[in-house]
Amino acid sequence: MRRAALMQSEDDYAVALSLVPKLPNPPAYLARTLRGLADLCVSQGRLDEAAGLFERVAGGGGKRSEIFWRDYATLLFRLALKRLGEGKVASANAALEQAGQLLRGPADIPEAWAAAWDGYGEMALWFERANEPVPAGLYAEKALQFATKLAAWTQVGNWLRKLAQSGIQKGGATRGLVWLQRLQALRLQGWPEALNVAVQAAVSLAQAELALGRAAGAQEIFLQAEAWLQSAGGESPALADLHLGWGLSLGPERGRQHLELALSLRRRLLGPQHPRTREAEQAMAGLNGSAPSGSGDGPVEWNGGAQFAAPPGADSLSVEVKRLHRRLARLCHPDTAPSPDQVAWRHDLMSRVNHASDVGDLFSLRAFLREAYGHLAQEPKRAD
């Protein structure tokens, strides 16, 4: 919307509009002038007035460019969110319906899909946080239609995690799992990493449930994540990762069987000498209150959760956590972003990385590394 820079005030536009009837092609000049005035209104935050001016231009006949329809649809999504923030739910829905009609018609272009994804996605979040699951689900499906067209997988993963977090807060584990189920199903729509992201999110949410003393909810989430992995191919390193995170979360009394399963899977699938097998052995050693065989340095104290101490010089979970944290920081620090639009994603990822490092969540750190490589492969190269 660059035309607003042509004139600096409404008085200038009033003069221009008064001259339009005297020009050779009044309809064309009227459309251009109204469009410029609409841009000025947008720059001043007067979105309702801008939408009215766009509507006048759209109804004035003649062919309009794709840029016009893109900007009109984008404005309507912005207007809907503004109205929603003001508590005007009905008028927000009206703006979204109008935008949806444009997307089914002249605004059905890739440049407008991003606005649709943002608009519908924010509406879904708003309704989920307002404890209104039905409209949240309807808007979420609309958002996913456009996100799939854009292949905006990283953003979709973060967004569905937020919906799951809100769902758990409002309706418990079952409600949150609705969104994680939708997340893991995206692997069938072209996102191979969707299952790993969903399982990683499930582990984090289950840990949060345990921290709040809701063991039943955590168990429900863990079991669902296990079912996804089983249905996707049975035994796998990812299933071992899940049980390791499960066992570490439950602690020494209830977590033993999961750590034993994780260790068994890793020995069978990766081999006894693989670093990740040794990691599971160390977890079991911490559970038993003794160091892994061959360390020769006395017992390792179990600290009751995702971390355990190791003797000086021994390979340990904490060493691996620090190594992954440094690697992710080098790869994804916001200061190294190649363009401004990549900074927000990097900030969000590093926030999650820092939290996972603080609690020793190796499962999530490995998933973040996979996420980072997938995202970085699509980033433009940084211009020096």
128 in the same domain as 75:
yes
Could you say which of 92, 126, 150 is where a domain stops? 150
Assess if residue 359 is contained within a domain. yes
Of 150, 184, 209, the residue that ends a domain is 150
Residue 130, domain member (yes or no): yes
Q: How many domains does the chain have?
A: 3
Q: Is the pLDDT of residue 317 over 70?
A: no
Supply the pLDDT for residue 331.
Answer: 86
Q: Is the distance from CB of 266 to CB of 274 less than 8 angstroms?
A: yes
The one-letter code for the residue type at 372 is A
65 pLDDT above the threshold of 60: yes
* Residue finishing a domain among 26, 45, 64: 64
Count of residues in the chain:
384
User: Any idea which residue has 């006949």 for tokens?
Assistant: 61
If asked whether residues 112 and 75 sit together in one domain, one would say: yes
Cα 238 from Cα 88, distance rounded (Å): 45
* CA separation for the pair 94, 98 (Å, rounded): 6
Q: What is the pTM of this model?
A: 0.69
Same domain for 85 and 139? yes
Residues 76, 11 share a domain: no
Answer yes or no: do 81 and 141 share one domain: yes
According to DSSP, the residues that pair with 302 across neighbouring strands are 308
The structure tokens listed for 343 are 């900074």
Tell me: the pLDDT tens digits for 79-124?
A: 998 998 898 989 999 999 999 999 999 989 988 999 899 999 999 9
Segment 329-371, tens digit of pLDDT:
888 888 888 877 788 888 878 888 887 787 666 667 776 777 7
How do residues 199-231 score in pLDDT, each as one tens digit?
988 988 888 888 788 889 999 999 999 999 999
Residue 334 lies in a domain: yes
77 & 55 share domain: no
**Residue 290 resides in a domain:** no
In this structure, the answer to whether residues 87 and 26 fall within a common structural domain is: no
The answer to whether residues 70 and 146 belong to one domain is yes
Which residue range is the domain that position 143 belongs to? 66-150
Residue 97 lies in a domain: yes
- Number of Cβ atoms within 10 Å of the Cβ of 305: 18
Tokens (6 digits) for 269: 């699938």
112 assigned to some structural domain: yes
With b meaning 16 or more CB within 10 Å and e meaning fewer, what string describes 89-107?
Answer: bebbbebbebbbebbeebb
Q: Report if residue 187 sits inside a domain.
A: no
116: Cβ contacts below 8 Å, ≥ 6 apart: 73, 77, 99, 103, 142, 143, 146
Cβ atoms of 238 and 199 closer than 8 Å:
yes
pLDDT tens-digit readout, 270-309: 898 888 888 788 778 776 654 333 333 333 333 333 333 3
Provide the pLDDT for residue 116: 92
